[in-house]
Amino acid sequence: MATTVQEALVVSQPVAAPAQVVYDFARQMENLPQWASGLATGIEQCDGQWFTESPMGKVRVDMAPHNPFGVLDHDVTLPDGTTVHNAFRVTPCGEGASLLAFVVLRFEGVSQADFDADVAHVRKDLAALRQLLEARQASG
């Protein structure tokens, strides 16, 4: 995959849950299969590294270190060795509310249709994360 970015789109999703709750849940690698279908249908840790079964094949996922800023950036290393950086944040939005924001990049050589499909999948995954967290808040 080429590294020249042709387009970028920020996909956002409000969540009726405190940012710290959202961050703590979303950064747990074991939770990825519950909401990140575009990345993880299964996950395992091997020699201190995390690997997921994804629509792209088996990929390695490296999450940003724990931080106080809600940064959930992660690198995904594809089966061909290409690493893609994904910028992902949780922002507090008042008492008991937060906003998820994920930057989707369209690299040179990626068709508009494939980019649109990536954006749609990110929207679906962020909505799944929202639904999961809001249900946990309601029952909790």
Model-level pTM greater than 0.75?
A: yes
CA–CA separation, 68 and 79 (whole Å): 32
| pLDDT over 90 at 55, yes or no | no
Question: According to the model, what pLDDT value does residue 1 have?
Answer: 46
Residues with Cβ within 8 Å of residue 23, at least 6 apart in sequence? 70, 72, 90
Looking at domain 5-139, its CATH class is alpha beta
| pLDDT over 70 at 7, yes or no | yes
CA–CA separation, 105 and 89 (whole Å): 15
pLDDT tens track for 74-123: 999 999 998 999 999 999 998 899 999 999 999 899 999 999 999 999 99
pLDDT tens track for 117-138: 999 999 999 999 999 999 998 8
Please tell me whether residue 98 adopts helix, strand or coil conformation: strand
Domain boundaries, the chain: 5-139
